[in-house]
Amino acid sequence: MFHIRSCILNDLAAVHSLASEYTSFDATPTRADIEDLLQRNPEYFYVAEHGSGKILGFITGYERKGIPEEVLRTWKANRVGYVDLMAVDMSHREKGIGTKLLITLLEHFRTTGLDLVILDVPAEQKSAVILYKKLGFHVRAYNMRKTLDNVIGAGSGI
C-alpha cells in the first residue's frame, strides 16, 4: 500500500536515486538539481510513500511564467503548469502510483488556478505516454533530432 504526500528534505536522497535511474532526458538530474526543484516549488512536489516509509515514486512541476499573452490566447489559457519530472520505481509500476502522483499534481494545479498543463516525454517512454494519454494529454508536436557528422552533408542524405 502507498500514499501520496508532499516531498520533504528527508526524501531527497530517495528522490535523487529514482531521478538518476529513471528520468534522464538529455542529462541526469544531480542531487543539487533535485534540491533546487524542491526549494523553488515545494507546493508542486509530491512523493508516493510505501507503508514501510520507502519512497516508490515522485512528481514535480511548476507554473510556467512569462508566456507571451498572444501565446496564451492561442492556447486558450490564462495560467500554465508544467510537469517537470516524474518517476516510479520499476519494481512498483503497474500499481497506480504514477496515475495517483499525476492526478495529485493536476488537481493542485487546478485548485491554484492553472488551466493548461504541458509536459515533455522521451518517445521511448511508451508506458509514460500511455499514462498521459489516459489522463487526457494529447500530442501537440514532435521534437525531433538528427546527429550530423562533422563533414558537411555526411549522413544527412543530401
* Domain 2-134 in CATH 1.10.3720.10: no
User: What is the model's pTM?
Assistant: 0.86
Q: What is the pLDDT of residues 133-147, one digit of tens each?
A: 999 999 888 888 888
pLDDT at position 157 is 53
For residues 57 and 50, the answer to whether their CB atoms sit within 8 Å is no
Q: Where do the domains of the chain lie?
A: 2-134
Starting at the edge strand found earlier in the chain, the sheet holding 116-119 runs: 2-6, 45-50, 55-64, 80-88, 116-119
Q: What is the pLDDT of residues 57-96, one digit of tens each?
A: 999 999 999 999 999 999 999 999 999 999 999 999 889 9
